[in-house]
């Protein structure tokens, strides 16, 4: 009985940890206001400054209208690329969240990397040394 119980617990741990160990995936879409997506599904385009100021965070809206929170990219970076085509490389940590490893923005038909986790971590280390 005890052995079966431990086997079930071990199996549960393995199955729940598998998504966390998943390889990086590329997610494409546009950043939109989290509140807009949650409540309206469409964000106002005529007053972008007011819209940006009122939003607590921005989400990656995918072509199928689903959205993902990017948990480790600063709000200001997401706001800077609002409504632009972006590509996020990272790991999906739950149904609606991604831990990003890089952020690419489409410029002149090509994607350009504008943020990486590695560079972000280097900057934090640099700031901590001073």
- Coil, helix or strand for 92? strand
Segment 41-75, tens digit of pLDDT: 566 666 666 667 888 899 999 999 889 999 999 99
User: What band does 15 get if pLDDT is binned at 50, 70 and 90?
Assistant: low
Segment 88-126, tens digit of pLDDT: 999 999 999 999 999 999 999 999 999 999 999 999 998
How far are the Cα atoms of 18, 19, 47, 54, 84 from residue 96, in angstroms, in the given order?
Answer: 17, 13, 27, 21, 20
pLDDT attached to residue 10: 45
pLDDT attached to residue 113: 98
User: What is the rounded average pLDDT of the residues 30-46?
Assistant: 76
């Amino acid at each position: 009985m005890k052995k079966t119980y431990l086997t079930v617990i071990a199996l549960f741990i393995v199955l729940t940890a598998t998504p966390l160990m998943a390889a990086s995936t590329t997610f494409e879409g546009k950043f939109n206001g989290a509140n807009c997506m949650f409540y309206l599904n469409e964000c106002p385009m005529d007053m972008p400054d007011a819209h940006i100021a009122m939003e607590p965070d921005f989400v990656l809206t995918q072509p199928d209208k689903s959205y993902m929170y990017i948990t480790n990219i600063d709000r200001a970076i997401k706001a800077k690329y609002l409504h632009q085509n972006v590509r996020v490389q990272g790991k999906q940590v739950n149904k609606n969240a991604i831990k990003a490893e890089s952020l690419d923005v489409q410029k002149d038909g090509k994607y350009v990397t504008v943020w990486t986790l590695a560079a972000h971590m280097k900057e934090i280390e640099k700031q901590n040394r001073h």
